[in-house]
Homo-oligomer: A and B are copies of this chain.
Amino acid sequence: MAQKPAIPKGTRDFSQLEMARRNYIFSTIREVFALYGFAQIETPAMELMSTLMGKYGEEGDKLLFRIQNSGEKAAEAPEKGLRYDLTVPFARYVVQHRDTIQFPFKRFQIQPVWRADRPQKGRYREFYQCDVDVVGTNSLLAEVELIQIVEEVYRRLGIRVSLHINNRKVLAGIAEVIGAPDKMIDITVAIDKLDKIGVDKVNEELRERGLSEQAVTALQPILNLSGDNRDKLAQLRTILAGSEVGLKGVEELETIFNHLSFVNCNLPIDLDLCLARGLNYYTGAIFEVKALDVQMGSITGGGRYDNLTGIFGLPDVSGVGISFGADRIYDVLTELNLYPEDLQSTTQLLFACFGEDELRFAMQSATELRRKGMRVEVYPEATKMKRQMAYADAKHIPYVAIIGSNELAERKVMLKNMQTGEQCLTGIEDLKI
């Protein structure tokens, strides 16, 4: 036989079990989004290259998949590319449809994205993103709702998590008060290593990154913040007294914490000044969620952005959003064995028959049961018992209704519980499983 066919590297087929698990994750997330009034949109897989280019930095541009159609000569620059994330298409969508969108616009989007990354374990060239955003309001209630959504999604999935929160304005304030306003990112990157390398090495790195001795000294109170989130915020308020933007950041964090306590949010939340994702576009809150019982990177993250749509010519639209990492959540649930058992099979009952007349009776019975909402299969051939049972086993079907000539004569089935092996003769109208 010819060589087995294959798929492009970095891509995946999803089997029925994998799909059942993925659908479980997505439908859990979708149900929670719906409780908060978010509604779904979809955008095309292809965007114009002019929409995509220059939005992900020089490295990102290189990772775009370009699309050619046969009308185009190979030498021409393709005018279309596959979407790299859901954020840029969303910004494009908001600007393109701004006249018909109702703001604040609460949308979610669950679609694949493509990146020409070098494939490796846990990194794919096609993977799903699951983004939820509110745009068109500065209200911090939006941040609060997103945190409530995080709490509820992971409560439903049974994954214990903690949420790390930071605020870009606080980071800017720190850089300002220590006299190094242009070094915000350097400072954040260095203090991110505090737990790993200790305060002395962090200070060393700060000097290497061009901070003056005076700035390093001024930064020390930040490295020594102690207590719970509120204690830290109180200390920050003192440290950042000279920075308007810094104080604004502290106030935003205080407001969010206050609201969360009003709504009885039980999610463990850490004020984490080292959290530095997306500093080139986030302007306020920054979030990251980690699973507590398994070693894995961030499984959800996001933040507040004040100028997402500016790149497409619509300035001053503030928004806040988070993205659930479906592949990592999948891995966490697998590792912790948290999937509901009944995902293995959706079929509740298989009819197994040993003749054409029996098959006909099975088809009639199956039709009757399906009308009552039962998920039923009929093994389509009157083949050997062993083969039909093996089918039920492999598909984890919990009950088999056997129809031989005796059962047919009585218009009944021998109902077998595949787990216990128990059997009983029963009529279709009385069949309870």
In the complex, identify which listed stretch (A10-18, A208-216, A415-423) lies at the interface while the others stay far away: A10-18
Q: Which residue of the partner chain B has the closest CB to A80?
A: B8
> A75: which of B35, B37, B75 is its contact (CB, 8 Å)?
B75
Within 8 A of B (CB), among A38-72: 39-48, 51, 61-71
Measured CB to CB, the residues of A under 8 A from B are 1-8, 11-16, 19-20, 23, 34-37, 39-48, 51, 61-71, 74-80, 82, 92-93, 95-97, 100, 102, 104, 106-107, 112, 114, 116, 125-126, 134, 137, 139, 141-142, 144-145, 148, 152, 259, 262-264, 312-314, 346-347, 350, 359-360, 363-364, 367, 370, 373-381, 391, 394-395
Residues of chain B lying within 8 A (CB to CB) of residue A93: 13
Q: Which residue of the partner chain B has the closest CB to A76?
A: B74
> A376: which of B35, B40, B142, B152 is its contact (CB, 8 Å)?
B35
Q: Which residue of the partner chain B has the closest CB to A104?
A: B380
Question: Do the beta carbons of B8 and A47 come within 8 Å of each other?
Answer: yes
Residues of chain B lying within 8 A (CB to CB) of residue A35: 370, 373-376
**Given A16-B39, A47-B8, A380-B139, A1-B313 contact (CB < 8 Å):** yes
Residues of chain B lying within 8 A (CB to CB) of residue A46: 7-8, 11, 65, 114, 125-126
Question: Do the beta carbons of A262 and B47 come within 8 Å of each other?
Answer: no
Residues of chain B lying within 8 A (CB to CB) of residue A376: 35-37
Residues of chain B lying within 8 A (CB to CB) of residue A374: 35
Question: Do the beta carbons of A395 and B102 come within 8 Å of each other?
Answer: yes
**Given A8-B48, A66-B67, A360-B262, A13-B137 contact (CB < 8 Å):** no
Please report the C-alpha to C-alpha distance between residue A44 and residue B61 in the assembled complex, in whole angstroms. Answer: 22
Question: Do the beta carbons of B116 and A4 come within 8 Å of each other?
Answer: no
Residues of chain B lying within 8 A (CB to CB) of residue A112: 45
Question: Do the beta carbons of B67 and A4 come within 8 Å of each other?
Answer: no
Please report the C-alpha to C-alpha distance between residue A66 and residue B73 in the assembled complex, in whole angstroms. Answer: 11
**Given A19-B40, A148-B367, A380-B142 contact (CB < 8 Å):** yes
In angstroms, how far is the closest chain B Cβ from the Cβ of A306?
16
Residues of chain B lying within 8 A (CB to CB) of residue A37: 346-347, 350, 375-377, 395
Residues of chain B lying within 8 A (CB to CB) of residue A379: 104
Q: Which residue of the partner chain B has the closest CB to A391?
A: B102
Question: Do the beta carbons of B14 and A363 come within 8 Å of each other?
Answer: no
> A67: which of B42, B65, B364 is its contact (CB, 8 Å)?
B65
24 A-B pairs (CB sep. < 8 Å): A1-B313, A5-B312, A7-B92, A8-B46, A8-B48, A14-B42, A16-B107, A20-B39, A20-B40, A34-B375, A36-B376, A44-B126, A46-B114, A63-B70, A65-B69, A66-B68, A67-B67, A67-B68, A74-B74, A75-B75, A102-B391, A137-B381, A142-B380, A262-B360
Q: Which residue of the partner chain B has the closest CB to A126?
A: B44
Question: Do the beta carbons of A45 and B126 come within 8 Å of each other?
Answer: yes
**Given A36-B370, A96-B6, A70-B74 contact (CB < 8 Å):** no
Question: Do the beta carbons of B262 and A364 come within 8 Å of each other?
Answer: yes
Residues of chain B lying within 8 A (CB to CB) of residue A34: 346, 375
Residues of chain B lying within 8 A (CB to CB) of residue A51: 5, 7
Question: Do the beta carbons of A19 and B41 come within 8 Å of each other?
Answer: yes
Please report the C-alpha to C-alpha distance between residue A19 and residue B38 in the assembled complex, in whole angstroms. Answer: 12
Question: Do the beta carbons of A48 and B6 come within 8 Å of each other?
Answer: yes
Please report the C-alpha to C-alpha distance between residue A264 and residue B367 in the assembled complex, in whole angstroms. Answer: 9
The CB with the most chain B CB atoms within 10 A, among A39, A359, A373, is that of A39
Question: Do the beta carbons of A259 and B13 come within 8 Å of each other?
Answer: no
